[in-house]
């Protein structure tokens, strides 16, 4: 995938009728289906059953099995409730009669209320000062570990610029924080809020577990650690546009027992808080 339209083509599912939908997968450099893709496709299925203009405000999900890139994924949506203010849906994704993912999500009618938010980090480096993943590949490709180089070589519809670049060759423990600017490639104008939320959910599965690796970077890296998303939750607050860089600010409070937990907030460049994310992932050291 090279741009926003190609990403939307992957996220938009085929309607099979009776609240069943079919999706195909795209390789992003890992041997299994990317978790962000399954998340976003599940949301696409859920939104297709919402007819009262309600907007997603939260989702909670579990990854049950690794998805096969070569098989279609079928999504079944259960209409749990349509109340006076909220609508609830449950989505099950399966391949070959095997459940690989479950999602619960809630939609809310537009209402007025009190407001506050925590601010974006002060004095953070701006995207124009930073290397993108593509820049890193060009500048340091000959020195990068083979697995990391292959991952960075995959074309993506999103451009990422980490605020701090951890040198994998230094083998040095660092703080459990990751700040990454991102933006869409291609023209993102005229997207509905529903589509923007699906794209943001897709993006939210990138980078987050890196914060769990950082405190153990002297001994742990992507080459010697089996990593996979176990669960994923998001909360959506405000409307936004993909017309500029956005910041995903992540921290990892804990890693223990071959699992790592990370959470973060997503801001516009102007500092408007758009969404919060929480994920626990598998962090299993590989045996030599």
Distances (CA, A) of 47 to 57, 101, 154, 184: 12, 17, 29, 22
Confirm whether 70 is a catalytic residue. no
**C-alpha to C-alpha distance for 175 and 171, rounded to whole angstroms:** 13
**C-alpha to C-alpha distance for 152 and 141, rounded to whole angstroms:** 9
Confirm whether 229 is a catalytic residue. yes
Q: Which residues contact 183 (CB under 8 A, 6 or more apart)?
A: 127, 158, 159, 242, 244, 245, 246
Residues 25, 205, 249, 252: which is the catalytic one?
A: 205
Angle at Cα 165 formed by Cα 279 and Cα 218, nearest 5°? 75
Residues 25, 37, 42, 229: which is the catalytic one?
A: 229
**C-alpha to C-alpha distance for 177 and 262, rounded to whole angstroms:** 9
Cβ atoms of residues 34 and 205 within 8 Å: yes
Confirm whether 205 is a catalytic residue. yes
Greatest Cα pair distance, the chain, in angstroms, is 59
Query: Residue for token digits 């938009």?
Result: 12
Which residues are designated catalytic? 205, 229, 279
């Amino acid at each position: 995938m090279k741009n926003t339209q190609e990403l939307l083509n992957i996220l938009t599912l085929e309607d099979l009728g009776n609240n069943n939908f079919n999706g195909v997968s795209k390789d992003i450099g890992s041997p299994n289906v990317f978790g962000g893709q399954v998340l976003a496709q599940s949301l696409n299925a859920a939104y297709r059953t919402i007819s009262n203009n309600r907007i997603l405000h939260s989702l909670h999900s579990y990854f049950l099995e690794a998805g096969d890139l070569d098989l279609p994924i079928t999504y079944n949506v259960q209409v749990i409730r349509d109340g006076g203010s909220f609508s609830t849906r449950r989505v099950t994704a399966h391949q070959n009669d095997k459940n690989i993912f479950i999602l619960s999500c809630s939609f809310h009618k537009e209402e007025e209320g009190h407001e506050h938010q925590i601010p974006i980090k002060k004095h953070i480096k701006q995207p124009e000062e930073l290397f993108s993943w593509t820049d890193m590949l060009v500048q340091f490709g000959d020195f990068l570990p083979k697995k990391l180089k292959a991952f960075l070589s995959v074309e993506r519809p999103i451009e990422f610029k980490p605020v701090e670049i951890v040198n994998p060759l230094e083998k040095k423990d660092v703080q459990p924080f990751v700040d990454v600017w991102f933006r869409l490639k291609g023209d993102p104008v005229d997207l509905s809020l529903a589509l923007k939320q699906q794209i943001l959910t897709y993006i939210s599965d990138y980078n987050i577990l890196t914060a769990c690796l950082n405190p153990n970077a002297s001994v742990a890296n992507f080459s010697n650690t089996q990593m996979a998303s176990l669960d994923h939750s998001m909360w959506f607050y405000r409307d936004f546009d993909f017309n500029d860089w956005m910041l995903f600010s992540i921290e990892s409070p804990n890693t223990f027992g071959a699992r790592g937990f990370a959470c973060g907030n997503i801001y516009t460049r102007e500092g408007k808080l758009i969404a919060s994310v929480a994920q626990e992932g598998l962090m299993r050291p590989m045996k030599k």
